């Protein structure tokens, strides 16, 4: 342990950790020597092997280069954040804040108040609530609004999302009863109307995101589902998954549902991720009727799944980019989505030059 190289390891990894690994390595060497193996060379390189083992035990989360061609890659952390968003999160995390303190009245405040006004302005919703991810938003919404009753949903929307989590499983965990209507490829508004009964608590639509069925298909539109729900005074819950605040179609992508569109089309509650097309930190956004949002806020799961101060600060800063109409120039995923062919070709040529000719640019 007096070896200068050990001292350097202690500075980086801590004395207790280094001592433990050195002892483990020595024990392994003794065992091999007792078995008749010549380990003289390995003994000389003991410090090196200790360092390798210490490195392997360190935190595994690392920054990587995304060369997959997939901008929103779940396995690579979804949306990278803007510099302003990262700075806002750092600033609020470094000290105290008025997270749940009302500076005007001097009394207790609510962490959910900080984002409400901003989201209402951007989407036209009556109220808003943020949880720490969209699956949590779905679970909490169903538990608060539909527990003990039936939720009607199209069979074609019973999808599996990342990590093997299935929409039917999330729904059942909320305490509601799943009522499937239609078929995998065709569901009409009349299917919802026929399924409604005294136990129905809500109608639900789930956007399939990167899953699609082509050919002989039919799906009731949101406005059709809303009209069906109105006949029995039932709420419509619209889980749009990635969601978006700006239209993706001008950039060569399929049109993704806009939060504001879903509110305008009559959805009573709209659920979306904050860390996908919105481009903010991991979060689940719930928008909609004030009375329904109030019920969700009171549910115990809301307390369990509430976001921390860094997430709130980061999402606020991300949403400000949309208010300033600078999303395509300030938010990394929209910078990438909106990049034209010429800029991508120039970037590829820079990479080729950096790699000294060991790569080629493939024209698109």
Whether 41 is in a domain gets the answer: yes
Query: What contacts 39, CB < 8 A, 6 or more positions away?
Result: 29, 32, 33
Torsion on CA atoms 199, 226, 144, 306, rounded to nearest 10: 160
Given this model, what pLDDT does residue 40 score? Answer: 58
- The beta strands (E) that lie in the chain are given as 127-131, 150-154, 177-181, 186-187, 200-206, 218-219, 236-239, 269-273, 284-288
Q: Is residue 284 part of a domain?
A: yes
pLDDT for 44: 57
* CA–CA distance, 251 with 243 (Å, rounded to integer): 16
9 pLDDT band (50/70/90 cuts)? confident
Is 280's pLDDT higher than 70? yes
Number of structural domains (the chain) is: 2
Average pLDDT on 190-198 reads: 93
**Same domain as 97, residue 239:** yes
Q: What is the pLDDT of residue 166?
A: 81
Is 149 found in the same domain as 44?
no
Q: Which one has a higher pLDDT value, 43 or 342?
A: 342
Show the domain range for 304. Answer: 78-327
Task: Based on the fold, state whether residues 13 and 154 are members of the same structural domain.
Answer: no
**Sign of the alpha-carbon torsion through 24, 30, 34, 35:** positive
Is 244 domain-assigned?
A: yes
CATH number, position 147 = 3.40.640.10
Tell me the per-residue pLDDT of 222-243, one tens digit each, with 9 for 90 and over: 999 999 999 999 999 999 988 8
70 is a domain residue: no
Least confident of 129-143, 203-217, 287-301: 203-217
In this structure, the answer to whether residues 40 and 84 fall within a common structural domain is: no
Specify if 184 maps to a domain: yes
Secondary structure letter of residue 274 according to DSSP? S
Greater confidence, 35 or 258?
258
**Nearest-angstrom CA–CA distance, 279 and 188:** 33
Q: What is the pLDDT of residues 241-270, one digit of tens each?
A: 888 999 999 998 888 899 999 999 999 999
Same domain, residue pair 48 and 83 = no
pLDDT of residue 303: 96
Is the model more confident about 53 or about 87? 87
Residues 36 and 130 both lie in one domain: no
d(CA 305, CA 124): 25
- Asked whether the predicted pLDDT for residue 43 surpasses 70, the reply is no
22 and 150 share one domain = no
Please give the helix or strand (H or E) that residue 304 lies within, else none.
helix 300-304
Q: Is the pLDDT of residue 41 over 60?
A: no
Mean pLDDT across 77-95: 96
Q: Is 281:81 a contact under the CB 8 Å cutoff?
A: yes
Same domain, 118 and 176: yes
On whether residue 281 sits in a domain, the answer given is yes
Percent with pLDDT over 70 in the chain: 92
Q: Is 355 a domain residue?
A: no
Instruction: Work out the angle between the directed axes of helices 309-323 and 83-93 (0-180°, nearest 10).
Output: 150
Per-residue pLDDT averaged across 284-299, rounded?
98
Cα angle: 123, vertex 143, 313; to 5 degrees: 45
Based on the domain organization, do 49 and 85 belong to the same domain?
A: no
For the chain, how big is the Rg over CA atoms in Å? Answer: 27
Using a 10 angstrom Cβ sphere, with 0-12 exposed, 13-18 middle and 19 or more buried, the burial of residue 155 is middle
- Residue 25 covered by a domain: yes
- Mean pLDDT taken over the chain: 89
Angle of helix 15-34 relative to helix 4-13, nearest 10 degrees?
130
362 — pLDDT class (breaks 50, 70, 90) = low
* Highest averaged pLDDT of the listed ranges 38-42, 45-49, 285-289: 285-289
Does 287 share its domain with 167? yes
| Dihedral (CA of 78, 82, 87, 92) sign | negative
Quick one: 292 and 165 in the same domain?
yes
- Domain shared by 31 and 174, yes or no: no
């Amino acid at each position: 342990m007096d070896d200068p190289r050990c001292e350097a390891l202690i500075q980086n990894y801590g004395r207790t950790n280094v001592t433990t690994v050195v002892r483990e390595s020595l024990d392994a060497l003794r065992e091999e020597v007792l078995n008749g193996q010549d380990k003289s060379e390995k003994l000389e390189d003991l410090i090196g092997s200790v360092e390798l083992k210490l490195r392997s035990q360190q935190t595994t989360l690392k920054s990587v280069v995304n060369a997959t061609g997939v901008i929103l890659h779940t396995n690579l952390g979804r949306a990278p954040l803007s510099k302003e968003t990262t700075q806002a999160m750092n600033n609020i995390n470094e000290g105290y804040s008025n997270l749940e303190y009302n500076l005007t009245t001097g009394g207790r405040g609510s962490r959910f108040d900080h984002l409400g006004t901003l989201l209402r302005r951007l989407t036209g919703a009556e109220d808003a609530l943020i949880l720490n991810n969209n699956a949590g938003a779905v679970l909490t919404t169903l538990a608060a609004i539909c527990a003990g009753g039936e939720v009607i949903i199209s069979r074609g929307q019973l999808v599996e999302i990342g990590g093997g989590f299935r929409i039917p499983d999330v729904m059942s965990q909320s305490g509601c009863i799943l009522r499937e209507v239609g078929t995998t490829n065709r569901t009409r508004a009349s299917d919802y109307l026929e399924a409604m009964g005294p136990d129905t608590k809500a109608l639900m639509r789930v956007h399939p995101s990167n899953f699609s069925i082509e050919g002989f298909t039919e799906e009731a539109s949101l406005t059709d589902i809303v009209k069906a729900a109105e006949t029995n005074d039932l709420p419509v819950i619209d889980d749009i998954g990635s969601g978006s605040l700006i239209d993706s179609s001008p950039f060569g992508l399929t049109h993704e549902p806009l939060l504001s569109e879903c509110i305008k089309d009559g959805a009573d509650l709209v659920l979306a991720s904050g860390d996908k097309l919105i481009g903010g930190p991991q979060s689940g956004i719930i928008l909609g009727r004030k009375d329904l949002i109030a019920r969700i806020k009171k549910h115990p799961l809301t307390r369990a799944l509430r976001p921390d101060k860094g997430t709130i600060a980061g999402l606020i800063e991300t949403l400000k980019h949309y208010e300033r109409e600078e999303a395509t120039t300030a938010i990394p995923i929209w910078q990438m989505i909106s990049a034209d062919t010429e800029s991508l070709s120039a970037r590829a040529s820079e990479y080729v030059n950096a790699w000294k000719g060991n790569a080629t640019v493939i024209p698109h």
